[in-house]
Amino acid sequence: MLRRVLLVDDEAAMRSALKRQLRATEYEVLVAGSGKEALDILAATEVQVVVSDVRMPEMTGDVLMTRIKHQYPEVVGILLTGYAELNAVIRVLNEGAVFRFLQKPWEPEALLDCLHDAFVCWQEKQQVNDQHTYLENHEHALLETDAEGRTLYVNQKAVRLLNINEDISGAPLEAVLPMLRPEQLLYLASGEQRQLEVQDKTNGQMLRVSSQALHSERRMFRVEKLFELDTLAIPELLSRQELLYQLDRLLLSSGEPVTAIYLDINGFRRFNDSLGYQQADRLLAMIAAELLKAKPEGASLGRMSGDEFALFIAGGFSLADICGQLEAMLLPFHDLIHFAGRELHVAFRVGYARSPVDGQDADELLRNAQVAANTASRGGRRTVVCYQQHMNTHDSEFVSLQSDLYRSLERDQLFVLYQPKVSMPDGRIAGAEALIRWEHGTRGVISPSVFIPMAEENGLIDPIGDWVLAAASAQKRIWEAQQVPDFVLSVNLSGRQLEDDALLDRVRDLIQQNALHASQIELEITETFLMQDISHSLELLRGLKALGVRLAIDDFGTGYSSLNYLHQLPVDTLKIDRSFVTGLGQNHEAFELVKNIIHLSHDMGKRVVAEGVETREQLDILTGLQCDEIQGFFFSPPVSADSFRELLENQPLIMLDVTTEGAVPARI
């Protein structure tokens, strides 16, 4: 490398003398007669050291050095001075604008020594510069400390990541990395290389801090942001990424199987709608806090997305074990939750998967637990499901079925069957339930228990629900025109339809269009839906009631045992769920429960319908308990509109005092 010195002096004799002294050296010498000329040369040529006289007209040497320091910080300056200029020299020395000064007259040796040192100084500056460029361009936040942990340097990445907004040179490490506890700082400051992960609670980041001892007792700290933390502002609740990350680490380190459990809140959309997003977030936070409190020991819980949580725990548990642990964890949700002046019922669909069989890494394991959760029923019976491989293969079938469902309406593949509700004890048809069917082109008739949940998931329930309402209303009109005996026609409403503000108008329009008697239309709403948010349900039911239609609670007994709330709800009918009817001849609890439901409903002036009555024994017990209406295969399965008309014309369906062996055979 060429070593260039620029000599600056206004006196030509001095310039020549200096030049002479440097003639036999390795340095290339340039000269300038003034400060201005020196700056011009610096602008055009690379120079490492500038030697300048102090006393010069226009621009003095000290002023020149200050300018050079600002414009060319890497250049090293030497001043030549007499006694009179000492003050000016001290000033620039203190500023760091000058490396050294030589007092006139100087020994030639002294000048050469001084120049040598100046070039060494330039080289060192160069190295520091290189290092700083390296550090500044580094992909991670970096900071350097001295042996006492005082900060010497931070790069721009660190300034941004750690949100540093003041000069921190010399500041102790704990001021720059306040998220670290004293023992963590001690740990990082010891040994050749150290690393740990910490959570920065101020901004919800997960950080990895590593430290390395450098020569001359310095230490370099590297800070990496691993991921953002959850938004519910609960430190113990892991974010999705964090959960995946920790689960992966457990899977790598743990020799035993790991169980991942996925929890999906049933119909949380509804809470979003009725509470608004902000409140719904608070509800989520409250739910998360409850889950955290009651989670199994050693389990980590995180939020996967809006209303979905997941936890994992070392060990491969049996379904019984999982159910036991979950029961304890979900216990707080057995009761209604008091929130924002409302009483809400929160229920979950749960799926789980176990490593290594159901997944090798976090992503796969959690995805399969989620797949299992999605197959769990919303109704309350099969709510915990273990992942099985066929679930994923079913997935593609599911997808194709789903796309077929989109076309079912335009292809006119949907139709409605009607199942009679027989009034007791006279055997007359008091009502009919409209039950939808899907005639799939290649798969035959598909059950609504398969495609209604699908339609709820993908939003098709809105048009499909509309279609059923319209089809049933039109059919009712036809029957009325045929002057068949009066009866109440029931239509099922799904939760999602009930969330639709347009529902009231829709029902009103259909009744008007078909010139129906509103009191001969009944809407069936599931208990699980009604109990989710009582005050919201109340409002909705009152609106529907104002149209004059009848209302029934469907699947009664499967959701939250809501007898206490029943009197508040403006419903006309309770439908006892089939599971209790099935249990009637078999266990005493079912009998007691059905008896209580019937008594209580009658006390409140509501009618009771028993669903799924298949045997004579069930019928007899129910009649004995004064159940008002019977629906089930015992009398008739759901049948076509024409067959239903025949049933209407052949009333009564059963003469209890005459028949002992069974009812009139069902006809389709």
Q: For ligand C2E, what does the binding mask look like between residues 383 and 422, x meaning CB under 6 A?
A: ------------------------------------x---
CB of 611 to Ca ion, least distance (A): 5
Looking at 308-316, 480-488, 492-500, 647-655, which segment touches ligand C2E (CB under 6 A)? Answer: 492-500
Question: Which helix (H) or strand (E) segment is 467 a member of?
Answer: helix 461-481
633 is a site residue for ligand C2E (CB under 6 A): yes
Closest contact distance (angstroms) between CB of 558 and Ca ion is 9
Binding site for Ca ion (CB under 5 A): 492, 524, 554-555
560, with CB counted inside 10 A (0-12, 13-18, 19+), is: buried
Site for ligand C2E contains 448 (CB under 6 A): yes
CB of 433 to ligand C2E, least distance (A): 6
Q: Cβ 575 to Ca ion, closest distance in Å? A: 5
Which residue number, 38 or 461, has a Cβ lying nearer to ligand C2E?
A: 461
Answer yes or no whether residue 555 interacts with ligand C2E by CB under 6 A. Answer: yes
Q: What's the min distance (Å) between Cβ of 475 and ligand C2E?
A: 12
Residues near 619 by Cβ (< 8 Å), separated by ≥ 6? 613, 630, 634, 663
**Which CB atom, from 316 or from 453, has the smaller least distance to ligand C2E?**
453
Nearer to ligand C2E, 493 or 648 (CB): 493
Q: Is 216 in the site for ligand C2E (CB under 6 A)?
A: no
Please, which of residues 296-355 interact with ligand C2E by CB under 6 A? none
CB hemisphere CA count around 458 (13 angstroms): 14
CA distance 125 to 76: 9
**358 vs 611, which CB is nearer to ligand C2E?**
611
Task: Candidates 511, 612, 619, 653: give the one binding ligand C2E (CB under 6 A).
Answer: 612
* Interaction between residue 436 and ligand C2E (CB under 6 A): yes
Q: Does 573 bind ligand C2E (CB under 6 A)?
A: no
Nearest approach, Cβ of 588 to ligand C2E (angstroms)? 22
Position 494 contacts ligand C2E (CB under 6 A): yes
Task: For residue 447, state whether it binds ligand C2E (rule: CB under 6 A).
Answer: yes
**Environment class of 561 (CB within 10 Å of its CB; exposed 0-12, middle 13-18, buried 19+):** middle
- How far apart, in whole angstroms, are the C-alpha atoms of residue 20 and residue 253? 74
Q: Give the amino acid at 293.
A: K
492 binds ligand C2E (CB under 6 A): yes
E strand segments, 105-231? 141-145, 151-154, 193-200, 205-213, 219-228
Whole-number minimum distance, CB 557 to Ca ion, in Å?
A: 10
- Name every residue whose Cβ is closer than 8 Å to that of residue 170 and which is 6 or more positions away in sequence: 150, 151
Smallest gap from residue 483 Cβ to Ca ion (A): 27
Structure tokens at 579: 């599971």
212 residue type, one letter: Q
φ, ψ dihedrals at 301, nearest 5°: -115, 140
Q: Which region, left, alpha or beta, applies to residue 42 given φ > 0 means left and ψ of -120 to 50 means alpha?
A: alpha
Q: Check: CB of residue 531 under 8 Å from CB of residue 559.
A: yes
State both tokens at 552. 């029934």
Residues in contact with ligand C2E by the rule CB under 6 A: 419, 435-436, 447-449, 452, 465, 468, 492-494, 524, 554-555, 611-614, 631-633, 638
